[in-house]
Amino acid sequence: MGTFNVLINKEDIGEFVRTTSRLPFDMDLSLGTKVVDAKSLIGILYLGVGKVLSLKTAAENVACAQEFLEKFVVA
């Protein structure tokens, strides 16, 4: 598994979900012990917008995910 951090603002949540939904592989978002599907609007709202979240996907998909989600990637 590969991991990187993302920050999703309330204004950009729809764009984030649309972008992740176009990618043909599974991704999870987590905050502490909570884990949700990165393609789920309800899941993201559950974790909370405006927080740094950890995005996890298979190691071979990390570069592709970072490229498509570059607007949301944070250190």
53, 6 in Cβ contact below 8 A? yes
pLDDT band for position 62 (cuts 50, 70, 90): very high
Task: State pLDDT tens for residues 8-54.
Answer: 999 999 999 999 999 999 999 999 999 999 999 999 999 999 999 99
Domains of the chain by start residue, with CATH: 2-74 (3.30.1340.10)
Backbone angles phi, psi at 23, to 5 degrees: -85, 135
DSSP assignment of 5-73: EEE--GGGHHHHHHHHHHSSS-EEEEETTEEEETT-HHHHHHH-TTSEEEEEE-GGGHHHHHHHTTTTE
